[in-house]
């Protein structure tokens, strides 16, 4: 390596990113973290990228193995992962063009149809639909009730408390309903919104950040396309979905899965961002970011619309 430049690495405050220049002129994205990555989040993209051949999987950004073949390097307390560097921009704010929607569809189709080696399949946990988010929301409610948090957090929480407790109850109930349904499970990215898509200068779309990979019904990823979860700053239109289907194929989704995952997504995000504030985690930048995202979610039409869904029948 001939140089390093710090770059943003997402919302996780325990992960740091750098652009690195190789001696041969190649560029890499170096991810540094203070804990072992989830094995599935490393092994799945590596397996998909290795099998990619013009059908979507070649656009998956996976770790580059070390000289010993390991997926990451241990350096004291740090874990260092090397990826190819995609010189482009996140699609969160810009959205996707029609052609890029088709590319995105082909990428997800390749993920969901993948036949994985035994070791990779074993590393992928199966979704049990027993989210920890409801319990975390109730624990946060106890903290607020005890009066040990700032007045700013208390005021915000109490303004939405009844709806948050309803969200927790519904997430558990819909999860139990889905567990009884026995839907088939496939490899999923599990965080397949446009913030994890990067468009390069040639308009090619790349999928990054596989930390939450899991085996689940395909609706776990498709909720972002079908309107049950926020895809990005740009609203998904019917025309966008039509272009996605050209790349992915038919998306006749199971409504029970969409309802559960829509609830669970919001519950998990609220629990995570609120915990930063209640427990005063991180520095000022973390506090400001978590406050912004928490307020944005709680004020969103999607949050209030979710609570009007009557059932999953």
Residue 9: the pLDDT is 58
Residue 54: the pLDDT is 57
- Tell me 188's DSSP state: E
Q: Residue with structure tokens 């948050």?
A: 164
Radius of gyration of the CA atoms of the chain, in A = 20
Q: Where in the chain is the domain with CATH 1.10.510.10?
A: 3-127+185-248
N-to-C CA span, the chain: 56
Residue 13: the pLDDT is 60
Of 1.10.357.10, 3.30.70.270, 3.40.605.10, 1.20.58.840, which CATH number belongs to 133-183+254-306?
Answer: 1.20.58.840
Residue 270 tokens read as 């609220």
Confirm if 111 and 221 have CB atoms less than 8 A apart: yes
Q: Give φ, ψ of 84 to 5 degrees.
A: -65, 145
Q: Give φ, ψ of 18 to 5 degrees.
A: -140, 145
For the chain, the residue count is 313
DSSP the chain: --EEEEE---S-TTEEEEEEE-TTS-EEEEEEESSPPPHHHHHHHHHHHHH-SSSSGGGB--BPP-TTS-SSEEETTEEEEEEE---EEESTTT---HHHHHHHHHHHHHHHH----HHHHHHSPBP-S--SHHHHHHHHHHHHHTT-S-HHHHHHHHHHHHHHHHHHHHHHHHHHHHHHHT---EEE-S--SGGGEEEETTS-EEE---TT-EEE-THHHHHHHHTSS---SSPPPHHHHHHHHHHH------HHHHHHHHHHHHHHHHHHHHHHHHTT-S-HHHHHHHHHHHHHHHHSHHHHHHTT-----
Residue 41: the pLDDT is 94
Q: Where in the chain is the domain with CATH 1.20.58.840?
A: 133-183+254-306
Residue 281: the pLDDT is 85
Residue 56: the pLDDT is 73
Q: CA 232, CA 153: separation in Å to the nearest integer?
A: 26
**CB-based contacts of 147, cutoff 8 Å, min separation 6:** 154
Q: CA 205, CA 197: separation in Å to the nearest integer?
A: 6
Specify the DSSP element, H or E, that contains 97. none
- Tell me 205's DSSP state: E
Question: What is the second-level CATH architecture of the domain 3-127+185-248?
Answer: Orthogonal Bundle (1.10)
Residue 310: the pLDDT is 64
Tens-of-pLDDT digits for all 313 residues of the chain? 666 777 765 656 667 888 888 777 788 888 898 888 899 999 999 999 888 655 577 899 999 999 888 888 998 889 999 898 899 999 999 999 999 999 999 999 999 999 999 999 999 999 999 999 999 999 999 999 998 888 888 999 999 999 999 999 999 999 999 999 999 999 999 999 999 999 999 999 999 999 999 999 999 999 999 989 999 999 999 999 999 999 999 999 999 999 999 999 999 999 999 999 998 888 888 889 999 999 999 999 889 988 988 655 5
Residue 246 tokens read as 């050209």
- Tell me 35's DSSP state: S
Residue 7: the pLDDT is 74
Residue 153: the pLDDT is 87
């Amino acid at each position: 390596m001939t140089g390093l430049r710090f770059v943003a690495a997402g919302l996780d405050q325990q992960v740091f990113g750098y652009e690195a220049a190789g001696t041969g002129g190649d560029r890499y994205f170096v991810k540094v973290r203070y804990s072992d990555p989830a094995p599935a989040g490393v092994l799945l993209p590596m397996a998909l990228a290795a099998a990619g051949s013009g059908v979507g999987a070649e656009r998956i950004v996976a770790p580059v193995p070390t000289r010993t073949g390991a997926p990451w390097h241990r350096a004291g307390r740090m874990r260092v992962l090397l990826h190819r560097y995609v010189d482009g921009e996140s699609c969160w704010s810009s959205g996707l063009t029609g052609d890029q929607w088709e590319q995105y569809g082909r990428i997800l189709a390749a993920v969901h149809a993948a036949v994985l080696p035994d070791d990779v399949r074993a590393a992928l946990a199966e979704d049990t639909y027993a989210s920890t988010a409801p319990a975390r929301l109730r624990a946060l409610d106890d903290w607020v009730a005890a009066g040990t948090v700032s007045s700013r957090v208390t005021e915000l929480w109490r303004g939405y408390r009844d709806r948050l407790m309803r969200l927790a109850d519904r997430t558990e109930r819909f999860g139990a309903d889905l567990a009884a349904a026995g839907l088939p499970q496939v490899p999923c990215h599990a965080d397949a919104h446009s913030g994890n898509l990067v468009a390069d200068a040639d308009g090619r779309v790349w999928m990054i950040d596989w930390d939450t990979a899991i085996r689940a019904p395909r609706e776990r990823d498709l909720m972002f396309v079908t309107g049950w979860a926020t895809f990005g700053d740009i609203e998904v239109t019917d025309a966008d979905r039509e272009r996605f289907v050209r790349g992915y194929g038919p998306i006749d989704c199971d409504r029970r899965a969409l309802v559960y995952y829509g609830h669970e997504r919001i519950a998990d995000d609220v629990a995570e961002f609120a915990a930063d504030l209640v427990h005063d985690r991180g520095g000022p930048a973390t506090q400001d970011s978590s406050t912004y995202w928490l307020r944005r979610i709680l004020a969103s039409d999607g949050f209030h619309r979710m609570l009007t869904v009557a059932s999953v029948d």
